[in-house]
Amino acid sequence: MERSEFGNKIEALSDKLESLEGQLNTEEATKNALILPFLATLGYNVFDPTELVPEFTADFGSKKGERVDYAIVLNGDVQILIETKEISDSLEKRDSQLFRYFTATKAKFGILTNGNTYKFYTDLDEPNVMDKDPFLTVHISNIKESQINELFKFTKENFDVDNITDSASDLKYVSLAKDYLEKQMKIPDDEFVKLVLADIYDGMRTQQVIDQFRPVIVKGLTQIVSEKINSKLSNALNQTVREDVEESDEDTASKESSDDGIVTTPEELEAYTITKLILKDILDPERVFYRDNRSYFNVLADNSNRKWIIRIYFHTNRNFIVLHDDENTELDFKDPIDIYEFAKQIQQVAEQYK
């Protein structure tokens, strides 16, 4: 199975999950509707009880008859243990059972899942003892490309213990560092504020000073992220749409100087660029055009008004886009960069023009 095909199957699972939201009320329903299809997507034969063993016995010490929901067996050895919960379970502090099962077997990996969230564990800290923290956490409803790459390693045809273990350490600690930094970006704790103040403030670091600088540090961190995003956006603009902008210079100049009163603004062109980047895996960039109108800015396929994808509105007190779906869904945004938040919905609209 090619990586692109696998990615499409994972995206299909994400769509299925969204369509079933609120309809799965038991663990068994979650297994049948979401978890087994996920394992089948990884290439495992969910109908072969010697490969995907349901209710696998994992006796632990004096506890007999302990059973894990599923075990994946390859070449006669248990490789992965899977503990399932129903879709509404948050999975917080629900890894104790999986921990016992893991220790009682020779499995190298454990998965705790509710059909949307998948937490992957191994034994980086101590051999045959499951780590407290997962090395990979994936939310199918909001999956990232980099996570699809990691999941691809767990497919049956690519499964290699050493290969996965080699990357697990980096994944685990990058994830923990990311979680920590995200928390500090929202509300820095006292120790983090003191760490920053040690390099920028010569006075006594009293609690009053710490409280005074906390919002300053949040603002600084937010600006760093914003500047990085804007820099990447500018680079992407130069790389992906420079030719289109040059080719449309005459049309734009004519439009801006014409008597119809239409002026194409930098914000509109930025929004167009972002939308074009969002669509690059759905439509050939040469098929994506824009047309400016008095009241809205149109992004369309094949330069056809019948194939509009989104309409972008910039108003004094409200900016929003309208999707070309059955409901003409409206989505509010503040700055053009925020349109990235609606990438999945925009891509879904564009699918009809592939």
Residue type, 248: S
Domain boundaries, the chain: 3-178, 189-238, 242-353
- Do the beta carbons of residue 313 and residue 333 sit within 8 Å? no
Share of the chain above pLDDT 90, in %: 51
What mean pLDDT comes out for the span 321-346?
A: 92
Residue type, 160: D
pLDDT at position 268, please?
92
What mean pLDDT comes out for the span 162-171?
A: 88
Tell me the whole-structure pTM to 2 decimals. Answer: 0.60
* 236-268: pLDDT as tens digits: 555 555 445 445 554 544 444 444 567 888 899
- Beta-sheet pairing, 109-113 with 77-84: parallel
The residue among 125 and 246 whose pLDDT is bigger is 125
Q: In the predicted model, is pLDDT for residue 60 greater than 80?
A: no
35-39, 54-58, 122-126, 189-193: least confident range:
54-58
Chain length of the chain: 354
pLDDT at position 20, please?
87
The residue among 244 and 184 whose pLDDT is bigger is 184
53-67, 170-184, 252-266, 306-320: least confident range:
252-266
pLDDT at position 252, please?
47
* CATH ID of 3-178, from 3.40.30, 3.30.310, 3.90.1570, 3.40.50: 3.90.1570
Helix locations, the chain, DSSP H:
3-19, 27-30, 36-41, 96-104, 145-152, 161-186, 190-200, 207-240, 242-247, 249-257, 266-278, 343-350
